[in-house]
Structures are given as structure tokens and as C-alpha cells.
Amino acid sequence: MNPLQRLPLALALLAASCGGSELEVGQIPGQPDIILVTVDTLRADHLGCYGYFRETSPTLDALSEESLLFERCIAPMATTLPCHLSLFTGLWPHQHGYVANTGAVTTPYSPSSGRQPISAVLAREGYVTAAFVSGPTVTKPTGIHAGFDHFDEHPAKSARTFEDRSRPAADTVARAVEWLREEAPEGKPLFLWVHIWDPHEPNIPAPEHEVFQADAALDALLAEREVDIAELQELDAVQLRRLLDAGFAKRVPLESDSERMEVNVELVRDLYDRYDADVLATDEAVATLKEALHELGRWDDSVFCFTSDHGQSLGQHAWLEHGTITRENVHVPLIIRFPGDAIEQPRKISQTMSLVDVFPTMLARLNLGASSEFFSQAAGLDVLNPDFDRPFALSQRSVRPTRWGAELRFAISDDRYRWYHIPGGAEELYDLQSDPGELRDLAEEFPERCEAFREAMLSILEDRPFTLPEGSADDANRLFLEQLEAFGYTGTGD
Ligand SMILES: [Zn+2]
């Protein structure tokens, strides 16, 4: 074990400076615990520290004051498994091979050369690795447990209603805290991943979190977002029921047909109240975890990272759930707290970045041998490095061949614009500075800007695409690559 491990930070810094360690400037000595919380389906702009008008996140707001808050972190998809794999491998979805949740049904993810998860990398570094997950799309059958010594998931109940497929944040955190108290090995660094599901539909908050009530401020927000009731009425019956009728989600089996609902503004207001209640429940669970880590003496010197895999539409752009790649689906919160102000002064970072950059950014501040292995694999970059030279982030829509259709669609975000590549070669361009809701297409006015974004897209897509093994019955990535060729991509696959 590294002798600097477990020393208080100030002492460790002194020891490092006296002991001739090869620490680089701005690096944390030793092997700090790394605590990662990912929240499913949490859009950044429903947290107070990202400007939300309701008090959904007192714990995270306070945490952000002593952390780095990344204002423009973009998910590479709005689909759970691909995003988590991108976070864990530092690779874009087409590089790790999972561009839909369904890909893992027949071919679970398994680490291979160039596709190692951060859990396996840290385990080789001597870390104890433990995961506590809440939802069905990041369970063992997907292969995402690779590299974790301990993996705790919710056992799906046989009834399989929407509600039964997950467990509340409080339960998952309670399991994690119990493990920390009773089973976590002493004297070893820890990589802990806690996955929270509460903001994912169906939103069925506990009564104690139902504190938000629709008011004029909410109506103003719905108007600003141009939530259109008539457009929502066109959505399929299951989506309407699943998002707008909490009672349905509680009682009806997953595969049931459902009667089409009549959408009205009261139902949409209620969805916002319930979603925000689930964000509050998430915040409370983070507080519980933080307090337990404090009690156990594991908080002060740890690296803590809070993020989400993707957002949620909540009625914007004629959609209620996620999966599409409009900004509300891919703008995720990212808060990273490093121990001690000496490493990184708490501040806001406005640089556009992707979830693929999260671990490269964290590892660049740690003095771990395993970092070099991860850096050589990752497409993601250290966004705090002054030489960071990718001022944009790519998102792509899931190519799941059912329900959402198999259409390819991409978006590029930079600090000001979002550009879309749409099936058939159409393009859209939005100026987020004057049009954060992406409602006025400027593509025809700025063809050269569109061309630059198209080049940026291809520069990522042509880099190291990966194909799942032959014989995979549900190979979404192969479908994706075929479609990519159909619109002119000529990468050779190396
Ligand atoms: Zn998700």
C-alpha cells in the first residue's frame, strides 16, 4: 500500500514534498477514496446549483460551493447503459460498442484490450471496488459489474410492473452505508459507485418528498419551454401512461396495452411536481451517504463525483421521457470535489465537455500508476488541462431497432451552439445564447458553421469504431455502423 494513503491531506502533501515523490503539481498524493454517484435521468437544470427555481437540491447546492461545478457536461446519448459505459471507459458509444440498452441483452459488456472499465483499472491499482445500483439497465446481465469486487443490485420482483423494476435511492444508499460500516476492508483505498434511479420514470415519490406544488412560476417555466399539450397528445399510449399516470405505473405490468390518455396541463404540472420530488429524494440520499462517509472518516480526503447519465424531456420538443438528444436530454450535472483547496480551487467551469472526459479529468489529478493505462485507452480528455483542444461534445440517438425507430441522429454542442445531423442529411442549428430551448433553427443562415460541426462529428466517429462479435443477435452497433456508411462515413474500422 502506498505509505501516503490515509495520512491527512496536509501531512501527505508535506511528506510528498519532503520524500522526493514524483507527484506533479496539482496532483493528490496517495490513493484517495473515489466516490461516484450517478443519478439516472437527472437533468442539470432541475438542481438549484444549475439555476432551478425550486429548492430541489440543498445538499448538492452546498457541495457545489466546495467543488468544481461543470456547467456544460453533455451525455453522449440519453440511454442508460451506453452512457455509463462511456463514463467508465472514457470511450464514445461507437467505440465501446453499446449504442442501445438492448445490445447487452445478447452480448453483455466484457472488458477487453482498449475497453477496460475504470473499476478494473482501479482494482489493479489496489483499490477495493464496490457498486450499489438501483435500476434494471445497469444490472449484472448487462456486464457492467465487470471490475467490481462487490456488486449489489435490486432483485427484480416477479410481477414486473414499472415500479417493481427499481429501488428507491434511500434503500440503495442504506445498502452502501451498511457495507461501508461492516464489510469495507480497512486500510485499502475504495472506489465506490452508487447509482440512483428516483428521477427516472415512473415518478412515484414518497409522501415526505411531495413538497412541490404547481404555481405561477411553474407555469412560466412551461411557457418558456414551450411545452405543447396538443403535441404531447400524439405520443404513444404507453409513454403517456408511464409519465403522466403514476397510478398506472404502480399497478400495471410492463407489457400491458394501455388506454390512450387525454393530456392536459394539470397532468404536466403534476409530472413536474413528482419529478422534482424525486430529485429532492436523490439529494436527501446523497446527504445520507455524505454523512456516513464523514462519520467513517472517509469524506475529507476522498474524491467525490456527482453526475447523471442523461436528462429527461418533461414535455419539451413533443417528448416526455428521454432517448432523444435535445439539450434537456443530454445536459447533465457534474460536480467534482477534490480534497483540499490546494488541488483545485472550488469554481465553475464553463468549458463544454462530455461524460467521456470525467475520469480522465479526475485521474489527471491523482498520482496513480493505472492512470497511464486509462489515458492511453480513453478518447476523453482532461478538460482542466490548459492544452484541452476539443471544445465540443458529441451526442447520438440510440439506434434501438424498435419503438424509437432505428434512425441515426447526432448532435454537436459547443459553448454557444447546438447542431444536429438528421437522417437524410438535413441539419439544424440553434444559438443557445439567445434560444436555450432550441426552438429557432438557424442552419440555413450559417452553412459554414454547420460544415465545421459536421467535420467535428466525423472526427469523433471515424476514430476507433468497435463492432460486437459476429453472431450477436441484437447488434445495435453493427446497425449503427451500417447506417453511418449509408450517409457517407468511410471509416475502415481501425
Ligand atoms: Zn438512464
The per-residue pLDDT for range 374-387, each reduced to its tens digit, is: 999 999 999 999 99
Q: Give residue 73's Cα distance to chain centre.
A: 9
On whether residue 185 sits in a domain, the answer given is yes
Q: How far apart are CA 272 and CA 212, in angstroms?
A: 9
The answer to whether the CB of 79 falls within 8 A of the CB of 310 is yes
How far does residue 440's CA lie from ligand 1's centre (Å)?
28
How far does residue 1's CA lie from ligand 1's centre (Å)?
36
How far does residue 40's CA lie from ligand 1's centre (Å)?
4
Q: How confident is the model at residue 165 (pLDDT cuts 50, 70, 90)?
A: confident
How far does residue 289's CA lie from ligand 1's centre (Å)?
21
How far does residue 133's CA lie from ligand 1's centre (Å)?
12
How far does residue 117's CA lie from ligand 1's centre (Å)?
18
Q: Can you give the chain as a three-state secondary structure string?
A: CCCCCCCCHHHHHHHHHHCCCCCCCCCECCCCCEEEEEECCCCHHHCHHHCCCCCCCHHHHHHHHCCEEEEEEECCCCCHHHHHHHHHHCCCHHHHCCCCCCHHHHCCCCCCCCCCCHHHHHHHCCCEEEEECCCHHHCHHHCCCCCCCEEECCCCCCCCECHHHCCCHHHHHHHHHHHHHHCCCCCCCEEEEEEECCCCCCCCCCHHHCCCCCCHHHHHHHHHCCCCHHHHCCCCHHHHHHHHCHHHHHHCECCCCCCCCCCCHHHHHHHHHHHHHHHHHHHHHHHHHHHHHHHCCCCCCCEEEEEECCCCCCCHHHCCCCCCCCHHHHEEEEEEECCCCCCCCCEEEEEEEEHHHHHHHHHCCECCCHHHHHHHHCCCCCCCCCCCCCCCEEEECCCCCCCCCCCCCEEEECCCEEEEEECCCEEEEEECCCCCCCCCCCHHHCHHHHHHHHHHHHHHHCCCCCCCCCCCCCCHHHHHHHHHHHCCCCCCCC
How far does residue 30's CA lie from ligand 1's centre (Å)?
33
Query: What is the structure's pLDDT at 239?
Result: 85
Number of domains into which the chain is organized: 1
Query: What is the structure's pLDDT at 428?
Result: 96
On whether residue 441 sits in a domain, the answer given is no
How far does residue 123's CA lie from ligand 1's centre (Å)?
25
How far does residue 12's CA lie from ligand 1's centre (Å)?
38
How far does residue 116's CA lie from ligand 1's centre (Å)?
21
How far does residue 200's CA lie from ligand 1's centre (Å)?
7
On whether residue 486 sits in a domain, the answer given is no
How far does residue 338's CA lie from ligand 1's centre (Å)?
26
Q: How confident is the model at residue 13 (pLDDT cuts 50, 70, 90)?
A: very low
How far does residue 240's CA lie from ligand 1's centre (Å)?
18
Q: What is the pLDDT of residues 359-374, one digit of tens each?
A: 999 999 998 988 888 9
How far does residue 68's CA lie from ligand 1's centre (Å)?
23
On whether residue 399 sits in a domain, the answer given is no
How far does residue 4's CA lie from ligand 1's centre (Å)?
37
How far does residue 79's CA lie from ligand 1's centre (Å)?
5
Q: How confident is the model at residue 468 (pLDDT cuts 50, 70, 90)?
A: low
Average pLDDT, the chain: 87
How far does residue 356's CA lie from ligand 1's centre (Å)?
15
How far does residue 188's CA lie from ligand 1's centre (Å)?
31
Q: What is the pLDDT of residues 84-94, one digit of tens each?
A: 999 999 999 98
On whether residue 488 sits in a domain, the answer given is no
On whether residue 468 sits in a domain, the answer given is no
Cell of 30: 496517495
Q: What is the CATH number of the domain that holds 53?
A: 3.40.720.10
How far does residue 424's CA lie from ligand 1's centre (Å)?
28
How far does residue 445's CA lie from ligand 1's centre (Å)?
35
On whether residue 425 sits in a domain, the answer given is no
Structural domain boundaries enclosing 260: 9-20+30-390
Residue 325 has pLDDT above 90, yes or no: yes
Q: Is the pTM of this model over 0.75?
A: yes
* Residue scoring higher pLDDT (136 or 188): 188
On whether residue 1 sits in a domain, the answer given is no
